[in-house]
Chains A and B, each alone.
Chain A
Amino acid sequence: MNEKTVTFIVDGKEIKARPEQTIMKACDEAGVYIPRLCAFKDLSPFGSCRVCTVKVNGRPQAACTQPVGEGIVVESQTAEIQQIRRNIIDMLFVEGNHFCMFCEKSGNCELQAMAYRLGILAPKFPYMFPVRGVDASHPDIFIDWNRCILCARCIRTSCEIDGKNAYGFIGRGPHKRVATNSSAGLKGTDADVSDKAPANCPVGSLMYKRIGYAVPIGCRLYDKNPIGSDIEMKKTT
């Protein structure tokens, strides 16, 4: 067994890690939460949302993909980095149609929870109000593209966990969106209610049907505790 450890600094705190770990994995184990949206514990790192941006020896890097290194100095909770994160969340809100007031995911939504954690009262960029559709053709699952933040967690879950290939990206830049692997839409794919993909969607974009609003307001995942507090709890244990 390789017992080698590396030591690095995050916001002035010394953290020990195994050399093969990413900065995010090492920080998670040490009880230091780095905000993230596309990174997910059961999936391989993707590095697309950039919410986990940290400065490594002064250079911005995605903590979910950047490996640890001996003696590196990582800045995460600085005013500058937090503002970068706020800007990213702001942009995600204005470039979609995020109607929290009637969304089934509200209270359990990671995008919303991230905005709460970062103390965002209103996005500062102009709303784009894009015209996007819904695919409700499948009997048990639906896609609402209005809420999609292009994190690829559905695509990766379908491949890596469900062993399918139900979703994929099409288009580039502002035209990029998640597509289903069938011209007939979701009903033409092998997506199934037992798939993990809908469960791993951070927002209300890929959802199981008929379970909305099951948990009352006040008891939902992020009603009382900010996102990431489960990781930060490790600090005290």
Chain B
Amino acid sequence: MQKPKIATASLAGCFGCHMSLLDIDDRILKLIDLVDFDKSPVDDIKEFTGRCLVGLIEGGCCNEENVRVLQEFRKHCDILISVGDCAIDGGLPALRNGIPLKECLTEAYITGPTVYNPSGKIPSDSEIPLLLDRIYPCHEVVKIDYYLPGCPPPADTLWQALTALLSGKPIDLPYELIKYD
């Protein structure tokens, strides 16, 4: 029988949640016995090759590309999980949610005290994804099935959640594994 597939993505995140996944240490060998990785930075597969059982999303949506990737994950994954605080509530990037976008870009590229930018322009190349007006938590963009909070979620949280899902059991996390920091 074919192994179920997992896909992962880092949107507006720092890759810390992916690091936490690697932090399951030698259990990663067991994980590889249980699943194949599809589109993911872990194996550098860029496009979906088929239907996936689980999609792990790190980071919220800060630009149009994040939204596109997230919608693609929803289309290809049976179960979509928001992993980490950025995916769940915007996280650190959401600190800009109270600041108008123009003000944000002006300070970052023109008026900031350490900025060196002789052109005096805000980058607007069509290759650069357009920023959204604010950070959107993933569940405000697509339907999310499970949430694993933490910054990052502990490796044990990810391991327990994944093994529960793969064996068809509900995710039942003990007190020590629910953390917001």
CA distance A98 to B151 in the complex (A): 13
CA distance A48 to B82 in the complex (A): 33
Q: Are A122 and B181 in contact (CB under 8 A)?
A: no
User: Which residues of B (132-149) have their CB < 8 Å from a CB of A?
Assistant: 134, 137, 139-140, 146-149
**Interface membership of A176, Cβ < 8 A:** no
**Interface membership of B178, Cβ < 8 A:** yes
**Interface membership of B91, Cβ < 8 A:** yes
CA distance A132 to B91 in the complex (A): 17
Given contacts A116-B175, A127-B89, contact A121 B147 (CB under 8 A): yes
Q: Are B180 and A106 in contact (CB under 8 A)?
A: yes
**Interface membership of A169, Cβ < 8 A:** no
User: What count of chain B residues pass the 8 Å CB interface test?
Assistant: 27
Q: Are A100 and B98 in contact (CB under 8 A)?
A: no
Nearest residue, chain B, Cβ from A225: B175
CA distance A130 to B94 in the complex (A): 11
User: Which residues of B (44-70) have their CB < 8 Å from a CB of A?
Assistant: none
Given contacts A121-B149, A122-B89, A129-B134, contact A226 B139 (CB under 8 A): no
Q: Are A127 and B90 in contact (CB under 8 A)?
A: yes
Given contacts A116-B175, A122-B147, contact A129 B139 (CB under 8 A): no
Residue from the list B82, B85, B176, B178 in contact with A101, Cβ < 8 A: B85
Which residues of B are interface residues toward A (Cβ below 8 A)?
Answer: 82, 85, 88-92, 94-95, 97-98, 134, 137, 139-140, 146-149, 151, 173, 175-176, 178-181
Given A98-B89, A101-B91, A107-B181, 13 other A-B residues pairs in contact with their CB atoms under 8 A: A101-B151, A102-B92, A112-B180, A116-B178, A119-B178, A121-B146, A121-B147, A121-B148, A122-B88, A126-B140, A127-B89, A131-B98, A223-B176
